[in-house]
């Protein structure tokens, strides 16, 4: 084993093997095997560090981890599972080159705006002109792996923000100004759900915040990070920290559970006493999920929504950012809504970055479990707080053949509707 990579060995000793995390782990739930549990994975990382097991043996358990970090929330001894997992991923990435598809998607795609736009426009045009449905009917999509086909079938009609619509600018607060906020758009989010970003900013305005959108921001780096690519992640983190430092925002707000989690964990990318670490800490402290700010303010709800609503929390919002109550509170405030909780609500839906593309079958097992629990409360609307979960829930609804009956929306869309922002 390469000694240059430091596994988080010391951290594994905090695990007292009590098993309290087992019932919260989606992969343990679907496989019923200790090896696919947090306790099992921590043990494997420890054995790896002690060179008692080969990387090959441990790799599949680490790769099948969703990284949802529900185990951390459940753990009574505060095990730093994220750090342990990350160290193992970095080792595995170095020792075992990942699949081509993953590499292409990650290294070339995400951080590159041009590519994103090209891909986005391409898809947009394809969808608009009916090429996609034509291709689908002709069975052309079948040449792609099943996972890509499934994703394609639920990808929303992509609408790129047009330059003239999305001027990088300052949006003034409506009513009395409370705070100034910088808005973080994210890359996949802004490619697939730019309308949600626009609605987010309008909601913030409505709640009395001055919102600024700066062009220099870039991808948060979460997906690269989860694939064990630390160097590339650090480069993106530095860029974001530096560009937001130029402004004096009270908060930096986003509507993306996964990116938000990455942003608040930027400090962990740097050595503790380094200059970048303290800059990252200052940055991270200001990063908040939109629901935190909106829950504190009073939004003027003008429209009643008489629907049964279920909320699927994004793991990275809940277990990493620890934003637990705010989304519930917000949904419940909307007039007319019948809000219902369901069993194992806080369990991952199986989306987990690109997990559902790379580990399609495993992800679908997790998703199908989730759907059986959600469907028991018979919702009209499933609310999410992260684009990945959003697409996954749409796929889940489609797999159950309920596309006509159950709508999937981002919490921002629901709030925007209740405030009649269009």
Partner 1 sequence: MHAEIEKEIRQVINNKRRVLTNEADLASYSYDASFGVFPPDVVVQPTSTNEVVGIVKVANKHKTPIYPRGKGTSLSGGPLPVHGGIVLDFSKWTDTLIIEPDDLVAIVSPGVITADINKMANKFGLMYPPDPSSSHVSTIGGNLSENAGGPRGLKYGVTKDYVLGLEVVTADGEVIQTGGRTVKNVTGYDLTKLIVGSEGTLGIITKAILQLIPKPQSTGTLMVLFDDLFIAGKAISSILTGGILPSKLEIMDQASVVAVEQFDPLGLPTDIEALLLIELDGHPAAIEAEAKRVKEICLEIGAIKVKTAETKEEEAELWKARKLVSPAIVRKKPTKISEDATVPRSRIPEMFQRLKEIRDKYNIDLVVFGHAGDGNLHPNIIADKRNIEEMKRVEKAVEEIFKAALEMGGTLSGEHGIGMMKTPFMEMELGTTGLYMMKRIKEAWDPHNLLNPGKMFPDPGQRFALTNE
Interface ranges with ligand SF4 (CB under 6 A): 15-21, 24-27, 38-39, 41-42, 65-71, 74-75, 77, 79, 81, 348
User: Of 20-28, 143-151, 251-259, 263-271, which segment contacts partner 1 by CB under 8 A?
Assistant: 20-28
Tokens linked to 133: 């449905």
> Given candidates 6, 19, 282, 325, which one binds partner 1 under the rule CB under 8 A?
19
| Locus of tokens 């050595």 | 271
Instruction: Compare residues 16 and 285 and give the one whose CB is closer to partner 1.
Output: 16
CB 360 within 8 A of CB 147: yes
> Given candidates 1, 6, 77, 118, which one binds partner 1 under the rule CB under 8 A?
77
> Given candidates 53, 103, 155, 235, which one binds partner 1 under the rule CB under 8 A?
53
Q: Is the dihedral of CA 254, 256, 262, 264 positive or negative?
A: positive
Distance of closest approach, residue 340 Cβ to partner 1, in angstroms: 18
What is the SS3 assignment for 276?
Answer: helix
Distance of closest approach, residue 333 Cβ to partner 1, in angstroms: 21
| Locus of tokens 């808005």 | 183
Distances in whole angstroms, Cα of residue 420 to Cα of each of 16, 70, 291, 342, 390: 51, 35, 18, 28, 22
> Given candidates 2, 3, 51, 78, which one binds partner 1 under the rule CB under 8 A?
78
Alpha helices in 15-63 (DSSP H): 26-31, 38-49, 55-63
> Given candidates 17, 163, 275, 401, which one binds partner 1 under the rule CB under 8 A?
17
Does position 308 bind partner 1 by CB under 8 A? no
Q: Identify the CA nearest to 305 among candidates 336, 327, 259, 330.
A: 336
Q: How far apart are the first and last CA of the chain?
A: 56
Q: Binding-site residue total for partner 1 (CB under 8 A)?
A: 30
User: Of 45-53, 103-111, 227-235, 344-352, which segment contacts partner 1 by CB under 8 A?
Assistant: 45-53
Pairing of strands 308-311, 287-289: unpaired
Does position 13 bind partner 1 by CB under 8 A? yes
Instruction: Compare residues 238 and 316 and give the one whose CB is closer to ligand SF4.
Output: 316
CA pair distance 147, 153, nearest whole angstrom? 10
The entry of ligand SF4, partner 1, none near residue 25 (CB within 5 to 8 angstroms by kind) is: ligand SF4
> Given candidates 5, 22, 113, 126, which one binds partner 1 under the rule CB under 8 A?
22
Does position 35 bind partner 1 by CB under 8 A? yes
Instruction: Compare residues 35 and 345 and give the one whose CB is closer to partner 1.
Output: 35
The entry of partner 1, ligand SF4, none near residue 81 (CB within 5 to 8 angstroms by kind) is: ligand SF4
What is the SS3 assignment for 71?
Answer: helix
CA pair distance 176, 21, nearest whole angstrom? 46
> Given candidates 2, 3, 4, 32, which one binds partner 1 under the rule CB under 8 A?
32
CA pair distance 348, 25, nearest whole angstrom? 8
Q: Identify the CA nearest to 408 among candidates 161, 387, 419.
A: 387
What is the SS3 assignment for 15?
Answer: coil
The entry of ligand SF4, partner 1, none near residue 44 (CB within 5 to 8 angstroms by kind) is: partner 1
Please report how many Cα atoms fall inside a 13 Å half-sphere around the Cα of residue 206, on the Cβ side: 22
The entry of ligand SF4, partner 1, none near residue 32 (CB within 5 to 8 angstroms by kind) is: partner 1
Distance of closest approach, residue 268 Cβ to ligand SF4, in angstroms: 16
The entry of partner 1, ligand SF4, none near residue 370 (CB within 5 to 8 angstroms by kind) is: none
CB 319 within 8 A of CB 72: yes
Query: φ and ψ at 251, to 5 degrees?
Result: -135, 155
Q: Which residues from 113-172 bind partner 1, rule CB under 8 A?
A: none
Query: φ and ψ at 346, to 5 degrees?
Result: -85, 10
Distances in whole angstroms, Cα of residue 381 to Cα of each of 132, 137, 227, 250, 374: 27, 29, 32, 33, 11
Does position 60 bind partner 1 by CB under 8 A? yes
Distance of closest approach, residue 56 Cβ to partner 1, in angstroms: 9
The entry of partner 1, ligand SF4, none near residue 43 (CB within 5 to 8 angstroms by kind) is: partner 1
The entry of ligand SF4, partner 1, none near residue 188 (CB within 5 to 8 angstroms by kind) is: none
The gap from C-alpha 61 to its chain's centroid, in whole angstroms, comes to 21
- Contacts with partner 1 by CB under 8 A lie at 13-14, 16-20, 22-23, 31-35, 37, 40, 43-44, 47, 52-54, 57-58, 60-61, 75-78
């Amino acid at each position: 084993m390469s000694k240059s990579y430091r596994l988080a060995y010391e951290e594994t000793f905090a695990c007292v093997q009590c098993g309290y995390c087992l019932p919260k782990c989606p992969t343990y739930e679907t496989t019923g095997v200790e090896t696919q549990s947090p306790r099992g994975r921590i043990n494997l990382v420890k054995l790896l560090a002690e060179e008692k097991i080969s990387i090959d043996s441990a790799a599949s358990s680490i790769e099948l981890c969703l990284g949802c970090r529900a185990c951390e929330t459940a753990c009574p001894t505060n095990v730093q599972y994220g750090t342990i997992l990350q160290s193992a991923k970095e080792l595995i990435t170095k020792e075992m080159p990942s699949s081509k598809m993953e590499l292409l998607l990650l290294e070339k795609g995400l951080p590159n705006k041009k590519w994103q736009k090209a891909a986005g426009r391409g898809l947009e045009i394809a969808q608009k002109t009916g090429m996609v449905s034509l291709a689908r009917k002709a069975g052309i999509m079948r040449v792609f792996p099943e996972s890509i086909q499934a994703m394609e079938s639920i990808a929303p009609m992509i609408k790129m923000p047009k330059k003239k619509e999305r001027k990088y600018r300052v949006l003034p607060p409506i009513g009395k100004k409370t705070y100034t906020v910088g808005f973080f758009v994210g890359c996949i989010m802004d490619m697939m759900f730019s309308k949600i970003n626009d609605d987010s900013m309008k909601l913030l305005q409505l709640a009395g915040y001055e919102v600024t959108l700066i062009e220099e921001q870039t991808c948060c780096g979460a997906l690269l990070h989860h694939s064990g690519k630390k160097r590339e992640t650090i480069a993106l983190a530095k860029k974001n920290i530096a560009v937001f430092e130029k402004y004096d925002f009270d908060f930096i707000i986003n509507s993306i559970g996964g990116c938000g989690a990455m942003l608040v964990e930027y400090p962990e990318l740097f050595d503790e006493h380094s200059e970048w670490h303290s800059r990252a800490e200052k940055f991270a402290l200001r990063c908040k999920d939109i629901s935190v700010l909106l829950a504190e303010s009073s939004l003027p709800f003008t429209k009643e929504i008489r629907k049964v609503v279920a909320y699927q929390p994004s793991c990275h919002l809940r277990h990493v950012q620890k934003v637990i109550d705010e989304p519930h509170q917000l949904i419940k405030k909307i007039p007319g809504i019948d809000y219902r909780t369901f069993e194992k609500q806080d369990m991952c839906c199986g989306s987990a970055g690109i997990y559902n593309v790379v580990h399609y079958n495993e992800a679908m097992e997790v998703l199908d479990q989730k759907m059986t629990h959600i469907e028991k409360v018979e919702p009209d609307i499933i609310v999410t707080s992260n684009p990945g979960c959003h697409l996954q829930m749409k796929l889940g609804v489609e797999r159950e053949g309920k596309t006509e009956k159950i709508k999937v929306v981002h919490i921002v869309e629901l709030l925007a509707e209740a405030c009649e922002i269009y």
